[in-house]
Amino acid sequence: MENMKKHFEGKMIKKVRFYTLMILFLGIIPQFIFAENQQIKNIPRLSRAPKIDGVLEGNIWEAESLKIEGFLQLSPVEKGTPTEKTIAYIGYDKKNLYIAFRCYDSEPDKLRVSVTNRDNILTDDWVAVFLDTFNEKRRAFSFMINPLGIQMDLIRIEEGGSDNMDPSWDTVFYSNGIIDEDGYTVEIAVPFKSIRFPDRDDKIWGITLGRTIARSGEVILWPPMSRSIPGLLTQAEEMMIRGEVEKGKNFELMPIFTSLKTKGAKVDAQPGINFKWGISSDLTMDLTVNPDFSQIEADVPQIDFNQRFALYYPEKRPFFLEGMEIFRFPKIQMVYTRRIIDPIAGAKLTGKVGRFTYGLLSAYDTSPTENLWEVHNGGSSRENNALFNIFRMKADVLKESYIGFSLTDKEIDGSFNRVAGIDGQFKLKKKLFFSFQAMASKSRFGEEVSDISPAFFGEIGYYTEHLGGGLNWTSIHPEFEAASGFVNRVDYRTFGVYTYAAVYPEKKYLNQLRFNLRAGRRFDYDMDVLEDDWISPSIQVRFTEFSRMNFSYRFEMEHYGGVDFSKNSFTASGELIFLSWLPFGFNVRTGDSIFYDPDDPFLGYSNSFAIFATLKPSKRLQIGLTFSKETFWEELGGEQLYDFNVIRQRTTYQFTKSFSLRTVIDYNHFNKEIYGSFLVSYILKPGTVFFLGIDNNLSQNDLSKYTRDDYSVFVKFSYWHRI
């Protein structure tokens, strides 16, 4: 009996020990698994909405919001102490996320600030908010505000070891700022309906806050960032919003009315409408009928003479711009919406559900084109219409990586072009990046059907603070065609390598010295002919974060018209913002150039020069000048063949944040053409606008006098209404 008792007690002790260890084990393990989550800050829910007037109410910001201090420099000194103190506050209610900044400045009279139109404050002092609402470390809704509350909104994209700030994205948010004797204060309200985020109660976002001190070139961030880790978003602070907020299940209507009168034609009045349905906080549908795609500002002139390949022009039309970051690709651009010239209607579905990002775009075009030269030279006069259908899907994999699928289809009266492909970008160990694309096209023109034609791209790169490099490969079949994209060259295989070394002196006006070396070879697709061969050393001198100069030399061989041409050239470029009232930039190239005569090409010599500057004589007046010049000689010191000059002068006077006048004059000396534009703008917020414009086109006749070729008067009105 005693033995049985001891046996029973022994078993009980073992069980107690076992369960005790299990309890301890289960108590400790979650601490390791969820240790990162326990550090996540909760954004406080405010009892009432602060008034967005730039005046910081202490009883709401100090008492209820989360106070953020500890801003440190990213440049000129990594994690250096800023010369001026910054404090931020953050909170939310059911409708909005609220952020406020108190930016101390010992010399507020030296703040750089403009009363200007939206998205034009990069040369000012400003504060910034980056919201990675899906916490994917690759994409963030970004908001910048100057000391007077002037807004700029962007999409920040960090993929493949590089970052891109796309200012074409526009949304509705509210801001105001006030300059005082201590510096300035800014208040911001971002409606939850204006951004996308996971459709769940507890939301973890990556948040980064920043400030610039323009006169000293300081970039100040919270949380503090390290240059040794590529990317800003991967170092963001994770913060949680608990509970229900307005999830974007809303309807938006934007009626549009345009009227156009051109020389020799009747008034053309066109109504249209845009419709947006926020299906959920992370999925949005856009519909448009008879959309207005008139250009409020013409494309910036480029030198398009003696060019071997078609030039690229950016998209500016609002319907196509929203959500277009989903349609980005590592290298080969399968989607180029300027191929869609004059759509009568369009539909778009974009969003992210779980780890899957979706994009679907359809448009019915009444003026389709068949090549990029037509796209950039007045469109097409085709009688047939075209239907575009573009599908894109990306799936998050591993950490900060994705795999994507895409399909584009263009149909014209029985003919078609279809391209399908997969792509991906992987980030490994924070510093190693791998990107790839693999796709194939198939086309039919009348009775002729092409074979399946492939295209490939791959790149691997390793990036650290001081050293890095990589290699890439591109291969495009001679019959590959992307009628919905921008591929201006086919029939080649390219192999390239690159490396860099960077040092950071961390001086007030010398932030970085970077030495680069690039080399590569391009063959025809069958690897029978060497098409190009190049090696290019370069150096970049960064004086401040926003002032830099680049110098490069290029040794290359280019095969054209059956001839190998050996070329050497030198290039210098820069962007300098040392003077608050005169930011400017330039680009200079001099060296050997080919005259691309298809029958008799030859090697000549050319100089090209471009300068762009903005004179700011007051806070409200901006006078911009862009001048491009290219001169070509048969040989150095020989006969001049052409001298191409293009000038653009742009003057804007901003009466208020919403109301402005603008004039633009373009002069093309080579073609003897002058384009003039006068515009009255009232932009209450994105979508609620009024424009009245007058355009004139003049050309030189045989008597060397300029006569008017054409003119137009247009009116545009649209009203954004959210239900």
- Any idea what the CATH number is for the domain that residue 129 is in? 2.60.40.1190
- Within a domain: 464: yes
Q: Please tell me the predicted confidence (pLDDT) of residue 297.
A: 63
Neighbours of 104 (CB within 10 A): 15
Find the Cα–Cα–Cα–Cα dihedral 395, 396, 402, 407, rounded to 10°.
10
Q: Which domain holds residue 401?
A: 312-490
Report the distance separating Cα 310 and Cα 271, nearest Å.
34
Kindly state whether residue 94 falls inside one of the protein's structural domains: yes
* 702 within a domain of the structure (yes/no): no
pLDDT at res. 311: 74
Q: Which amino acid is at 258?
A: T
pLDDT at residue 614 in the model: 94
In sequence order, the β-bridge partners of residue 405 are 393, 422
Claim to verify: residue 345 and residue 201 sit in the same structural domain: no
Residues 230 and 338 occupy one common structural domain: no
Q: Cis (ω within 30 of 0) for the bond into 76?
A: yes
Q: How far apart are CA 578 and CA 510, in angstroms?
A: 13
98 shares its domain with 127: yes
In this structure, the answer to whether residues 102 and 224 fall within a common structural domain is yes
Q: Is residue 550 part of a domain?
A: no
Domain membership of residue 648 (yes or no) is no
Report the distance separating Cα 661 and Cα 161, nearest Å: 41
Domain boundary among 469, 490, 511: 490
Same domain, 95 and 215: yes
Q: Are residues 90 and 19 in the same domain?
A: no
* DSSP structural state of residue 507: B
For residue 658, with 0-12 CB atoms within 10 Å meaning exposed, 13-18 middle and 19 or more buried, which class applies?
middle
- My answer on whether 97 and 133 are in the same domain is yes
All residue ranges of the chain with pLDDT < 70 are 1-38, 161, 247-249, 292-301, 303-304, 370-383, 702-704
- State whether 435 and 344 are in the same domain: yes
Look at residue 559 and tell me if it is in a domain.
no
Has residue 234 been placed in a domain? yes
One domain, residues 154 and 9: no
What span, in angstroms and rounded, lies between the C-alpha atoms of 569 and 534?
11
Strands 415-428 and 162-166: unpaired
Mean pLDDT of the chain: 87
Is the same domain home to 158 and 112?
yes
Residues 29 and 100 in one domain: no
Q: And the tokens for 54?
A: 């730039």
Q: For residue range 380-404, list pLDDT tens digits in order.
A: 545 678 999 999 999 999 888 999 9
Is 198 inside any structural domain? yes
Which of 458, 490, 522 finishes a domain?
Answer: 490
Same domain, 202 and 324: no
* pLDDT number for residue 636: 87
pLDDT at res. 192: 92
End-of-domain residue from the set 475, 490, 505 = 490
pLDDT score at 164: 83
Contact yes or no for 568/554 (Cβ under 8 A): yes
pLDDT, position 79: 93
Q: How many domains does the chain have?
A: 3
